[in-house]
Amino acid sequence: MSKKSKIQAVKGMKDILPSDSHLWLMVESMCADIFSRRGYRQIRTPMLESTHLFARSIGAETDIVSKEMYTFEDRNGDSLTLRPEGTASCVRAGIENGLFYNQQQRLWYTGPMFRHERPQKGRYRQFYQVGVESYGWSTPDIEAEVLAMVEQLFSELGLTNTTLYINSLGDAASRASYRDALVDYLNEYKDQLDEDSVRRLGSNPLRILDSKNEKVQSLLDNAPVILDYLSDESKLHFATLQDYLTTLGIEFEINPKLVRGLDYYNDTVFEWINHDYGAQSTVCGGGRYDSMVEQMGGQDTPAFGFGMGLERLIEMLQEQNASSLEISQSCEVFIVSVGDKARLQAIKLQDVLTKQGLSVQCHMGAGSMKNQFKKADKSLALIGLVIGDAEAQSNQVNVKVLRKELAQKTDMEQQRSVSQDDVVNVVTNLLDSL
């Protein structure tokens, strides 16, 4: 590579810059808070896993495994994959560490995932996902709890114009009956199916319901509906979930074509769609996957969960100018100082105030009073502390409310001088009044 060649991020990998990171931190901390309120505990798994894990859990016929995974051999010749989603890793960790043996678990995770897809709005090759997984409950009440948690998150973030779509894929017997009916129907139109659908017709015909081909979707308009093939037990399960959602005041629509993009689901599946966002409008999706733990070597353990892409969620919030964006305040106090002695006192004052839990920026390096106040204004600080030569000699500090509307509210339109020993109390009281 030439010394003058421009080094750029890998295609589909996006930097999260300081101008956006405060919003990321806010969303992540709100997720952690809401999940913990209902007893969900965080699990952290490696980004690298055995390739066999995903082929076995997600399904070899899925686009993720067949087309999108970042897979390579390490120096020992082992086939490794950068995780494309979080559920399989949670299941592997739970089995390996005995988390499911005669136990029930409420877990959540967050971190980077990797898929070699065509980069587009809200979809990147490295993307961050937050997910929730519940293990040990086969009843629809846990599903209602999880869905209520997502609805609460959207509400507290201020995300609007979203719709919850739900469907039931039924149990194994239901899906087998439906599979036969769907294959019989689609065989009549085999010459009109695209290449992917023809391939899936012999291996996993339910995945055709998820086709992005408009012509295929038009053929499916008159296809058999999976809800007509549910067993009595699956029908009752799905109806009970709807009762829970209605009781909770969570609006939903039933979409019988909803199958999700992974092969491990059974019974309930769902997606939250945001109608302001265009083609990539799914903000959250998941469902029940009762067979995966046993399939991967654990004991029979029912499970239900979801995954949600943080890039897409945050871009939706930004486009909607959601209420959560208004609460970001990166700095409460900015300290302006001129002169060597003043700077020593400013650094000490910053240390004292931050140990009291305040957010404080201190001007560093040379700079005129005017330029420092420009930086204070740019920081969005609410309060300015000013130490010049005179204040440094008398161990005083000038306190100034930097936002005009707030200054009027606190009757502090003019700065006032206080002892540096009293600064913590003065600043704390001012902030409480704001």
Segment 368-395 shows an average pLDDT of 91
What the block records as the tokens of 245 is 């959602």
H or E, element range at 186: helix 172-187
Residue 406 scores a pLDDT above 80: no
Taking only the tens place, the pLDDT of each residue in 77-118 is 999 999 999 999 999 999 999 999 999 999 999 999 999 988
Residue whose entry in the numeric block shows the structure tokens 């067993």: 231
pLDDT confidence tier of residue 415, bands split at 50, 70 and 90? confident
Residue 14 scores a pLDDT above 80: yes
> Alpha-carbon Rg of the chain, whole angstroms?
28
Is residue 136 a contact partner of residue 301, using CB atoms and an 8 Å limit?
yes
Is residue 255 a contact partner of residue 272, using CB atoms and an 8 Å limit?
no
Which residues, in sequence order, are CB contacts of 280 under 8 Å at separation 6+?
120, 121, 122, 123, 312
Q: Which of 122-131, 219-228, 401-410 has the lowest mean pLDDT?
A: 401-410
DSSP-H helix ranges across 321-368: 340-354
Burial of 209 (0-12, 13-18, 19+ CB in 10 A): buried
Measured distance between the N- and C-terminal CA atoms of the chain, rounded to whole angstroms:
55
Segment 200-223 shows an average pLDDT of 85
pTM comes to: 0.83
- In three-state form (DSSP H/G/I as H, E/B as E, the rest C), the secondary structure along 34-90 is HHHHCCCEECCCCCEEEHHHHHHHCCCCCHHHHHHCEEEECCCCCEEEECCCCHHHH
- Residues forming beta bridges with residue 242, ordered by sequence position: none
| Domains within the chain, CATH numbers bracketed | 18-171+231-325 (3.30.930.10), 330-433 (3.40.50.800)
